[in-house]
Homo-oligomer: A and B are copies of this chain.
Amino acid sequence: MRYVYAFAEGSKDDRDLLGGKGANLAEMTSLGLPVPPGFTITTEACRAFRTLGQSPDGLDSEVRDHLGRLEGAMGRRLGDASAPLLISVRSGAKFSMPGMMETVLNIGLNDETVLAGSAGSNDERFAWDSYRRLLQMFGRTVLDVPGQRFDIVLDKAKADAGAARDIDLTPDQLRDVVARYKDVILESTGHAFPQDPFDQLDAAVLAVFRSWDGDRAKLYRRQEGIPDDLGTAVNVMAMVFGNRGEDSGTGVAFTRDPASGAVGAYGDYLPNAQGEDVVSGIRNTMSLDDLAQRHPQQHADLLANMNRLETHYRDLCDIEFTIEQGRLWMLQTRVGKRTPEAAFRIAIQLVDEGLIDMDEALRRVSGAQLARLMFPQVDPAEAGRPWVTGVPASPGAAVGNAVFDSKRAAVRAAAGERVVLVRRETNPEDLGGMIAAQGILTSRGGKTSHAAVVARGMGKPCVVGAESLVVDEEARIAIGPDGVTLKEGDPISLDGIAGAVFRGEVAVVPSPVVSSLDSIEDLRHADDPVVAAVARLMKHADDVRRLGVRANADTGEDAARARRMGASGVGLARTEHMFLGDRKQLVVRLVLAKTDAERAIVYEELLPLQRRDFTDLLAEMDGLPVTVRLLDPPLHEFLPDLTELSVKVALEDIRGNRDSEHHQLLEAVRVMHEANPMMGLRGVRLGLVLPGLYGLQVRAMAEATADRIAAGGSPLPEIMVPLVAARTELALVRDEAERVIASVAEERGVDLEISIGTMIELPRAAIRAADLAQVAEFFSFGSNDLTQTTWGFSRDDVEGAFFTTYLNANIFSVSPFETIDADGVGAFIRMAVEAGRAVRPSISLGVCGEHGGDPASIHMFHDWGLDYVSCSPFRVPIARLEAGRAAIAADASDTR
């Protein structure tokens, strides 16, 4: 096992072994760019350290060996009193973990070497400043001395000297700082600062190894989904100094503007400084143009190097550089992070410059980035500090007056007021208020709570789980952690991307991308370069993708919006949404009905309403498939809550009102109450138990289809049966549906082609998929319910209760309600896909759960051979983009 590689030995493809930084240093070295010599200790060494609890055998001698070569190359030796070699030690993992890991500069300095080669006070100032920096960095990162102890010393020295900046301290003053720093280290650790440079090096390397398992690093990895067992590499490099006088300096630069995506290098430079001074923002930096004025040659070299790197990496690069006494050194490069706007623009620029092709450009952008481009956004410059924060549940910005109940929200909105609905949590009763509101804020719930799911479905900004906010719905107020009370009508703003809540109205930046999405063809040459870039990349995604993208849409309006967003059909129309509002009274009558005759009367009233629902859907999606799911939720969901009604009735009893309508209703609610409604009388069970219900829905669908044909349309209806577990369930519904369809076809004298299929949302359906395929023309995976039953937990109950614990314990790396659980739920999906196709090669296979709009899940659905995904209209463009990316991805794991 070899643990150390010189920069000249590696390449940018060795990120696994050398880490990102090490691999890129190696690449720059072999490109001939001016990189200070050095070597990289591999991630393998770190992994060995983690396993053994100490440095692996052989590492020390390899380091000594490479150090020797470095000394040779530099003509200096570590600890040499006359010509000491100084080196830096930096971490560098495979994936960038900014600020998470440790860096120590100026290793090699000690009381003896500090003044080596100093000639004149400027050299001395530099020497003491460098030593001071070593002590500070080493103390803090290697020895765990609290950083502020050093800050106190330095601040005092500057105050004593009347010096505004570090740079204004004299060599003597800096020497005093060094002495006091050494005292700090001795007092804090009980040991003196190690004078032996080799000890310094060894300690720094081990500190980097240890920092991999520091709390900050672990937290960061969990958030970013980076595996814990990768380990970090360590880069040892000869020091070059930007703080060696006014002909020295250091800077960072991007090959293009990472914020706007505009063409042209962009950077900051700080004369007479070391790297951390730039990042820390202590002093004002100058632009690259200023650098050109100051050091024209170095500036020209820098731009040439950057151009070389961008052409070589074929992407936006960010770099760190240092000018040491007029000589330019390249210290680091990597593919640069960028805003969503820049991502789309730069990808297209690189295509136009011939550096990459459209496939590669598509790989460079993501659905998550597109989502951020689609929402109007709070302008962070204007917004200031949030009042409270919560979970960012649905992106975008919302500004309006706070309202604490849905009815009032609807009334106020109808009167033209912009309102934000504020609730502890929402339920289906709140639908009207949510529709009326600009955005939704709740103090409870997670990313898949009712509020979050519905808001995302509506494409409406939403912040949930703002736990520091006390919402008192009765009193119509919310109290913040600062004690400030928000009253009904007070203005409030939500940032659904950051999960931030602001009091008052904040400035909002609208998205030009959304309005362009319905007419992409024309917009590829739009004036707005972001719109043009999105349009071109969407077009390419549509060209290459194999997965169809349909939308979940329950009304004609939804369907129209979905079509504008590029949906190729409706994958899920939930008929329960057609039983809400005014029609709820009909459901109550249906529940209270005792005979088939009473039910028939209700059905008769429902029939024209349902038919109109379907006609609207079919009209808006003319020529494209519309999958209608027969009624799924248990009927008691349409009734009042048992507990609330019980309290109401008990109070009426007390008041002597023993015969109210509530009493009759309570009896019905009690009978229908279920301990676990998710696992109760719903879906196909309800259809089989309640005579006529599904028949009514199928008739409405068949008549709507006939109406559309009569109107010259091309309806493509599909009937989907929910919650099927056994073939006979589906066969019975299918038989009835075929009878009804045949009868409507005869009544209307038309041919009706309505395909009939099933949801796969129970483990039994997945494992018996071969049976079901015999009577189903399509499968639609209900990934939400399938996740619930596979894991045995319900989305409503578990997120608050234990998901945080589970994420922290790494039982999940991400909620299985957000990204499909590939090992568990995914296994069932793959099983059913295989069995379904084997029995019925023509079977159509789709997904209509929330996962249908999740980028990582879309890649898996592509890999597993599904035909389409269906998601909320607003996520359709995102799904289209990701479906395109999935089609060109080398493998499914390439989604980070």
Instruction: Report A's interface with B, CB cutoff 8 A.
Output: 642-643, 646-647, 650-651, 654, 674-681, 685, 688-689, 723, 725-726, 728-729, 732, 761-764, 767-768, 785, 788-794, 796-798, 801-802, 805-806, 809-812, 821, 823-825, 827-828
Q: Given A792-B789, A811-B729: A802 and B647 within 8 A (CB)?
A: no
Establish whether residues B828 and A793, one from each chain, have CB atoms under 8 Å apart when the complex forms.
no
* Distance of A494 from chain B, by nearest CB (Å): 26
Task: With CB as the reference atom, state the residue of chain B lying closest to A810.
Answer: B728
* Distance of A419 from chain B, by nearest CB (Å): 28
Q: Given A654-B654, A688-B805, A824-B764: A794 and B732 within 8 A (CB)?
A: no
* Distance of A665 from chain B, by nearest CB (Å): 15
Establish whether residues B811 and A728, one from each chain, have CB atoms under 8 Å apart when the complex forms.
yes
Q: What are 19 contact pairs spanning A and B, CB under 8 A?
A: A646-B647, A651-B651, A675-B677, A676-B677, A676-B679, A679-B797, A680-B794, A680-B797, A680-B798, A680-B801, A681-B798, A681-B801, A685-B801, A725-B792, A726-B812, A726-B824, A729-B811, A764-B790, A764-B792
* Distance of A789 from chain B, by nearest CB (Å): 5
Establish whether residues A675 and B802, one from each chain, have CB atoms under 8 Å apart when the complex forms.
no
Establish whether residues B650 and A681, one from each chain, have CB atoms under 8 Å apart when the complex forms.
no
* Distance of A596 from chain B, by nearest CB (Å): 15
Docked CA distance A468–B528 (Å): 75
B654, B723, B793, B805: the one contacting A651 at CB < 8 Å is B654
Establish whether residues A689 and B802, one from each chain, have CB atoms under 8 Å apart when the complex forms.
yes
Establish whether residues A767 and B646, one from each chain, have CB atoms under 8 Å apart when the complex forms.
no
Chain B residues contacting A785 (CB-CB under 8 Å) are: 792
Establish whether residues B793 and A685, one from each chain, have CB atoms under 8 Å apart when the complex forms.
yes
Chain B residues contacting A798 (CB-CB under 8 Å) are: 679-681, 685
Establish whether residues B728 and A824, one from each chain, have CB atoms under 8 Å apart when the complex forms.
no
Q: Given A680-B798, A768-B824: A792 and B675 within 8 A (CB)?
A: no
* Distance of A444 from chain B, by nearest CB (Å): 10
Docked CA distance A767–B732 (Å): 30
Chain B residues contacting A761 (CB-CB under 8 Å) are: 792
Chain B residues contacting A796 (CB-CB under 8 Å) are: 674-676
B725, B805, B824: the one contacting A689 at CB < 8 Å is B805
Chain B residues contacting A680 (CB-CB under 8 Å) are: 793-794, 797-798, 801
* Distance of A490 from chain B, by nearest CB (Å): 28
| Copies of this subunit | 2
* Distance of A430 from chain B, by nearest CB (Å): 16
Establish whether residues B794 and A685, one from each chain, have CB atoms under 8 Å apart when the complex forms.
no
Chain B residues contacting A725 (CB-CB under 8 Å) are: 790-792, 824
Docked CA distance A689–B802 (Å): 6
Task: With CB as the reference atom, state the residue of chain B lying closest to A647.
Answer: B650
Establish whether residues B676 and A678, one from each chain, have CB atoms under 8 Å apart when the complex forms.
yes
Docked CA distance A525–B828 (Å): 56
Q: Given A688-B802, A763-B828: A728 and B809 within 8 A (CB)?
A: yes
Chain B residues contacting A678 (CB-CB under 8 Å) are: 675-676, 679, 792
Docked CA distance A239–B849 (Å): 69
Docked CA distance A146–B469 (Å): 77
Task: With CB as the reference atom, state the residue of chain B lying closest to A724.
Answer: B792
Which of A762, A798, A824 has the most chain B CB atoms closer than 10 A to its own CB?
A824
* Distance of A123 from chain B, by nearest CB (Å): 58
Task: With CB as the reference atom, state the residue of chain B lying closest to A788.
Answer: B679
Chain B residues contacting A828 (CB-CB under 8 Å) are: 763, 767
Establish whether residues B650 and A797, one from each chain, have CB atoms under 8 Å apart when the complex forms.
no
Chain B residues contacting A825 (CB-CB under 8 Å) are: 764
Chain B residues contacting A732 (CB-CB under 8 Å) are: 809, 811
* Distance of A792 from chain B, by nearest CB (Å): 4
Docked CA distance A445–B725 (Å): 23
* Distance of A143 from chain B, by nearest CB (Å): 32
Task: With CB as the reference atom, state the residue of chain B lying closest to A826.
Answer: B767
Docked CA distance A412–B244 (Å): 97
Docked CA distance A768–B801 (Å): 24
Chain B residues contacting A790 (CB-CB under 8 Å) are: 725, 762-764, 767, 789
Docked CA distance A248–B718 (Å): 71
* Distance of A355 from chain B, by nearest CB (Å): 43
Q: Given A688-B809, A805-B689: A823 and B728 within 8 A (CB)?
A: no
Given A674-B796, A680-B793, A726-B811, 20 more contacts at CB 8 Å? A646-B646, A674-B801, A676-B677, A676-B796, A678-B679, A679-B679, A680-B797, A685-B806, A688-B802, A689-B801, A725-B824, A726-B812, A726-B824, A728-B810, A761-B792, A762-B792, A763-B789, A763-B790, A764-B790, A789-B792
Docked CA distance A823–B763 (Å): 12
Docked CA distance A528–B725 (Å): 50
Docked CA distance A498–B299 (Å): 99
Docked CA distance A650–B652 (Å): 11
* Distance of A459 from chain B, by nearest CB (Å): 26
* Distance of A634 from chain B, by nearest CB (Å): 9
Docked CA distance A872–B753 (Å): 54
B642, B676, B688, B767: the one contacting A806 at CB < 8 Å is B688
Docked CA distance A852–B853 (Å): 43
* Distance of A425 from chain B, by nearest CB (Å): 11
Chain B residues contacting A797 (CB-CB under 8 Å) are: 674-677, 679-681
* Distance of A729 from chain B, by nearest CB (Å): 6
Chain B residues contacting A681 (CB-CB under 8 Å) are: 797-798, 801-802
Q: Given A729-B811, A828-B767: A675 and B805 within 8 A (CB)?
A: no
Docked CA distance A761–B792 (Å): 9
Docked CA distance A797–B685 (Å): 12
* Distance of A312 from chain B, by nearest CB (Å): 42
Task: With CB as the reference atom, state the residue of chain B lying closest to A761.
Answer: B792
Chain B residues contacting A793 (CB-CB under 8 Å) are: 679-680, 685
* Distance of A473 from chain B, by nearest CB (Å): 14
* Distance of A730 from chain B, by nearest CB (Å): 10
Docked CA distance A723–B790 (Å): 11
Docked CA distance A821–B651 (Å): 47
Chain B residues contacting A802 (CB-CB under 8 Å) are: 681, 685, 688-689
Docked CA distance A793–B729 (Å): 14
Docked CA distance A375–B824 (Å): 45
* Distance of A825 from chain B, by nearest CB (Å): 8
Chain B residues contacting A642 (CB-CB under 8 Å) are: 643
Q: Given A680-B798, A681-B801, A798-B680: A792 and B824 within 8 A (CB)?
A: no
Chain B residues contacting A674 (CB-CB under 8 Å) are: 794, 796-797, 801
* Distance of A740 from chain B, by nearest CB (Å): 18
Docked CA distance A556–B498 (Å): 57
* Distance of A709 from chain B, by nearest CB (Å): 33
Which of A677, A689, A723, A763 has the most chain B CB atoms closer than 10 A to its own CB?
A763
Q: Given A763-B828, A768-B823, A801-B689: A794 and B643 within 8 A (CB)?
A: no
